[in-house]
A and B are shown apart, each in its own frame.
Chain A
Amino acid sequence: MTGTEVEPAPRGAGRGDARPPLLRLEGITKRFGELLANDAIDLELRAGEVLALLGENGAGKTTLTSILFGHYAADAGTVRVADGRGGLVALPPGRPEAALAAGIGMVHQHFTLAHNLTGFENIVLGTEPWWRPRPARAGARARIEDLARRMGLEVELDRPVGTLGVGARQRIEILKALYREARVLVLDEPTAVLTPQEAEGLFATIRALAADGRGVIFITHKLAEVEAVAERVVVLRQGRKVADRPLVGTSREELARLMVGREVVEPVRRPRAPGAVVLALEAVTAGSGRDRIEAVSFALREGEILGIAGVSGNGQAALAALAAGLLRPERGRVALAGSAAALESPRAAVRAGVGRIPEDRERDGVVGELDLSENLALERLDAPEVSRFGLLRRRAMRERARRAIEAFAIRAPGPDAPVRLLSGGNMQKVVLARALEAAPRLLLADQPTRGLDVAATAFVHERLLAARERGTAILLISEDLDELLALSDRIAVLHRGRLAGPFPSEQLDVPTLGLLMAGHEPEEPLGAAA
């Protein structure tokens, strides 16, 4: 990548802006060994401003905010925070408690909540003298409830955090910062774990926070989110600030180019005649609780991508488990190329040519402690290229891994690197490589680009379309409607376990899909697809 897109002169951030500055970063530089994670970054945030910090994975966003919050000390540069009397004072580096006291609140991507404590206890943790008696908490409680009401952060305060969903946990995390009178709130990729509805709620909260005179730094790599909430955007690339401008007058394409450093070409789906039926469901009922499907039928053909839209928790997990051989139908029939036996167990499914990209790659996709070559071999331990006479062929495995690293542009130290050390995007490439290397008949792609940045997403899309060209039938489960519309030949919508469609994707758009996902019937009959 070439770094030619650096903006010539730093725009006087908010020149002529009457709002007082809350925070100023000056020349922040941080090096990790060879890697220059942050290179002389300047940044200013004003009261009531929502600033999007945009950048790909590894651009230095998290490093910058870790320095801001005192988790790391910068090698050079200063963090200045408003002192409440109109001036800016320098924060001592590497001291989280100093950042907290200065009114900087951080909502980490991985929440920092004790699961055994209630939401209320998590919020007041560390704010009381060691021996304060319990009755003194009534005041704290009233303040929290007031904050929650005003900022749209309603949440059950008296349940152990471990029993709450991610959306509720995030609201507690935000309340935690607000309770400490954070004037600057940093949200690190806050929507990665949220459903689209929860994300909408979060955006409303962010707007309320800004209206309240606080400053918000919103870290993301999703362009749509930048447009939804931000007033100004700062783009980081490979540790450098490459743009700092108001959002008005900046196009999405321009932002993408600034972020990636080159044009990102989203692959295009070319028309292709589908072949024989690969996966067939006939009136299948399966699963339990929220993960249940009822009387679902469809046929997925060779060289076709069938998209499954729907808010997560409407039966997607059951559908994915069926196709992977992890779940048997209660009623109805499921068959792979006409054979029900092929989907009787995960082992049978793999043998019959089912490639899988599981929804939660860290939990179900890879074994973090095993190295790359081992992870790539996991599905074919008895294949001759992996083992002979019951012994692993290490050299051959490493060679396979090297080929995959090259073919899938996996950024890893080598075939012997433990997979847990890879970034999310590269981990997903390992899963993808394993699923695709055997030229599967059916590819189960469950949220294949969740949490990936623009470039990695485009890469996954390209590979999925290439597999389709080769005749693989792909079941694409996704919450990203743009992704579904771009890749799928047909799209069906799951709502409360029932399937609407499939419909040809040309007849669908985002609003229509949104209505279907909420359980509405299509207004005018959509052409039922063959």
Chain B
Amino acid sequence: MSEAFEILFQASFWVAAIRIATPLLFGTLGALLGERAGVLNLGIEGIFVAGAMTGWLAVYLGAPLWWGVAAAAAAGALMGLLHAFLTVTLALSQHVAGLGITLLATAGSHFVYRVAFPTLTQPPRIEPFAPVGWAWLEGIPLLGPVLAQQTPLTFLAIATALFLAFLLARTPLGLAIRAVGDDPAAVEAQGLSVAGLRYGCVVAGSALMAVGGAFLTMSAFNAFFFGMVSGRGWICIALVVFASWRPLKALAGALLFGAFDAWQVRLQTLAGAFLPSQLFLMVPYLLSIAALLLAARRADYPRALMKPWRRGER
């Protein structure tokens, strides 16, 4: 049994945990930004797929890696624009619009892939982001070697979390975003544009989700597979609640989930001989539910979340 916990002291375990956490962090931050402005984006699962597909395809067609990331973000932003149009301009149900976007983006990505590679059975590979391996970083005890093995996108994700925390807490723009998620009428009464703020947050948030998807094909793996997103988007939606809509708690939540997942993979090799592997696959989800139960009770929802808003109506 003690071996199960010894895992926690291996550097390779933490390298894996942070790698698993990175796309979740992008997705959670993206969902969080939209929800802070009052718009739930269940298109996240599909936007992950679209980002994974677009980033990878762009690089396969010859674009530099960072241009691939930009292409993924643009694809996500486009999906976000559609979601904002449906939920803000047309004031439709956020659930239904989001699920529709997930279906559209997933099927659309698969369609593009099939059209581009009609005959392939083995997905074509690209040269993905390499670990940063900065020498100065490796010098830092404990954390340094673990971080040096991450790719640049991980650092981008962490920087985004810090930036969003600052934006929301410390700037007038962040104040307006928090206000529009609580009471759009208050924002309008102060002469600000409710639609402008919500469009901005949904589009930017969707771009972040797509970058999370791109991480899968451009950092974690080097190719695009069907079904590779496998529910990561939904985990992000839960992590937003776990984080009580705070970017730094989102960072902690994503790491926690990453650690659970990395742990269960290692447990499988340890105990897989006498326990079915499916049991281990359940572990991160079970622990997430337990963590959510504890965190979500105190969750302080943005009051206007999921409520369509039309000017001049109560």
Contacts and interface: CB of A to CB of B under 8 A. Distances in A.
Given A115-B303, A122-B186, A126-B187, A71 B312 contact: yes
Interface stretch (B102-110, B166-174, B208-216, B255-263): B166-174
B190 interface: yes
A265 B91 CA distance: 47
Nearest to B301: A116
A456 to B, nearest CB: 20
B189 A115 contact: no
Interface stretch (A100-108, A194-202, A343-351): A100-108
A379 interface: no
A72 B189 contact: no
B185 interface: yes
A96 interface: yes
A389 interface: no
A121 B182 CA distance: 13
A257 B188 CA distance: 37
B172 A128 contact: yes
Interface in B161-196: 170-173, 175-176, 178-183, 185-192
B175 A125 contact: yes
A114 B191 CA distance: 14
Interface in A124-146: 124-134
Contact of A130 (B171, B186, B190, B311): B171
B70 to A, nearest CB: 24
Contacts of A111: 186
A125 B171 contact: no
Q: How large, as a class, is the contact surface on chain A?
A: 20 to 34
Nearest to B180: A114
A117 B312 contact: no
A131 B314 contact: no
B179 A125 contact: yes
B300 interface: yes
B182 A116 contact: yes
Nearest to B311: A71
Nearest to A113: B186
Contacts of A122: 179, 186
Contacts of A128: 172
A112 interface: yes
B172 A176 contact: no
B302 interface: yes
Given A97-B191, A112-B185, A124 B179 contact: no
Given A110-B314, A134-B170, A117 B190 contact: no
A96 B189 contact: yes
A474 to B, nearest CB: 33
A128 B312 CA distance: 25
Residue of A96, A101, A125, A132 most packed against chain B (CB within 10 A): A125
A117 B175 contact: yes
Chain A binding site: helix, strand, loop or mixed by DSSP? loop
B303 A125 contact: no
Contacts of B190: 100, 112, 125-127, 176
A125 B187 contact: yes
A114 B173 contact: no
Nearest to B171: A131
B175 A121 contact: yes
A106 B189 contact: yes
B172 A116 contact: no
B188 A96 contact: yes
Contacts of A113: 183, 186
Interface string A83-97: 000000000000011
Interface string A70-84: 011000000000000
B281 to A, nearest CB: 38
Interface in A29-88: 66, 71-72
Given A71-B312, A72-B312, A116 B303 contact: yes
A122 to B, nearest CB: 7
A110 B312 CA distance: 13
A125 to B, nearest CB: 5
A470 to B, nearest CB: 38
A231 B228 CA distance: 72
Contacts of A129: 172
A95 to B, nearest CB: 9
A127 B192 CA distance: 9
Contacts of B311: 71
Contacts of A112: 183, 185-186, 188-190
Given A101-B191, A106-B189, A116-B302, A124 B183 contact: no
A374 B2 CA distance: 63
A117 B183 CA distance: 10
Contact of A117 (B173, B182, B185): B182
B219 to A, nearest CB: 31
A176 B179 CA distance: 14
A390 B266 CA distance: 58
Given A71-B312, A124-B172, A114 B189 contact: no
Given A125-B172, A131-B172, 15 more contacts: A66-B312, A96-B189, A97-B191, A101-B191, A108-B189, A111-B186, A112-B183, A114-B178, A114-B179, A116-B300, A116-B302, A116-B303, A126-B176, A126-B191, A176-B190
Smallest CB-CB A-B distances: 7 pairs: A126-B190, A97-B191, A114-B179, A114-B182, A112-B189, A128-B172, A130-B173
Interface of A: 66, 71-72, 96-97, 100-101, 106, 108, 110-117, 121-122, 124-134, 176
